[in-house]
Amino acid sequence: MSATSTSVARTGAAAGATTRHGGRRIGGTIFLVAAIVVLLIWTLFPFYWAVISSFKNPADNYGNHWLPWITFEPTLKPWRDLWAIREIRRSLVNSTIISVGAATVALVLGTLAAYGIARFRFFRPQNGSLTTWFLSQRVLPPVIFVTPYFLIMGQLGLLDTVWALILLNATFNLPFPVIILTQMFREIPKELEEAAQVDGESRLGIFLRIAVPLVLPGLVVSWFLCLAFSWNEFLFGFAMSQKDARPMPVFLAGGDQTRGVDFQAIGTRMLLTASVPLVASLLVQRYIVRGLSLGAVKG
């Protein structure tokens, strides 16, 4: 076989390989795009259902009524009915007090604990064991604590009060600021604190005036995570409240009636419940991004 024939054969083989490789890349891209589309539909469809259900008349819940102004006429009546319910307004206030209070308590205690673990050396138990103990509060299933905490709150006279839910949510969300801020405090150069000590600054002054301002993004991230988890907590809210301290997640679960499921009530309550952490995340987005970029969630 001549050199020219060999060169043509090699060129053809290379072209075939390139075509097959390009075909595999196109097939992989199509599969990836299809998977993303399916995942987005699976994730966003409940929100779409809640939105359209919150603007429907009860008669439009049945049948193919999925497109506003095309298959059904939207109405604001479900939203007017929502705000007319006094228990809804009370539950919204309760959830706000519980989530903000629990997030603040967890942040204050978690910041102190994180700074202590990062800057001091403990022996019994050691620093790693302390961190593991804090983390175990999120690993253990909360349902095993419902009965003992119910008995404790009953003895303290705190059942059906926001104080009980603030204490419980702060306890179980305490690992977030501890884990996040411990790493951030460790990344602060010790020379800064040593220089402040030379100038006569106390340990508390160093903590408040030097360490805390340097980890401000981590404080915002920790507080927001505690706020979100406290706002969405259902189990303790359901077990510890009956009437006065009932939060929004518990009220959201009560959408079934003797005549069936109230789709309008579920849609409006779901959107109202989800809107608060969504708006809060948008307001503190730049702090969250900055806090994560500073290694706030490193182990």
Residue 246's nearest CA partner among 95, 113, 133, 24 is 95
For 52-79, letters b (16+ CB in 10 Å) and e give bbbbbeeebbeeebeeeeeebeeeeebb
Report the distance separating Cα 93 and Cα 96, nearest Å: 5
Q: Three-class SS string for the chain?
A: CCHHHHHHHHHHHHHHHHHHHHHHHHHHHHHHHHHHHHHHHHHHHHHHHHHHHCCCCHHHHCCCCCCECCCECCCCHHHHHHHCCHHHHHHHHHHHHHHHHHHHHHHHHHHHHHHHHHHCCCECCEHHHHHHHHHHHHHCCHHHHHHHHHHHHHHHCCCCCHHHHHHHHHHHHCHHHHHHHHHHHHCCCHHHHHHHHHCCCCHHHHHHHHHHHHCHHHHHHHHHHHHHHHHHCCHHHHHHCCCCCCCHHHHHCCCEECCEECHHHHHHHHHHHHHHHHHHHHHCHHHHHHHHHCCCCCC
Q: What is the pLDDT of residue 10?
A: 54
Q: What is the pLDDT of residue 240?
A: 92
Amino acid at 5: S
Report the distance separating Cα 173 and Cα 134, nearest Å: 9
CATH 3.10.270.10 fits 85-293, yes or no: no
Q: What is the pLDDT of residue 299?
A: 42
Q: What is the pLDDT of residue 15?
A: 52
Report the distance separating Cα 246 and Cα 64, nearest Å: 35
Q: How far apart are the first and last CA of the chain?
A: 64
Give me the residues of the chain with pLDDT under 70, please. 1-23, 254-260, 287-299
CA dihedral 15, 18, 22, 24 (to 10 degrees): 120
Segments making up each domain of the chain, as ranges: 3-53, 85-293
pTM of the entire predicted model: 0.80
Report the distance separating Cα 42 and Cα 261, nearest Å: 22
Residue 175's nearest CA partner among 239, 121, 111, 233 is 111
Q: What is the pLDDT of residue 40?
A: 92
Cβ neighbors of 71 (< 8 A, separation 6 or more) are: 64, 65
Report the distance separating Cα 218 and Cα 216, nearest Å: 5
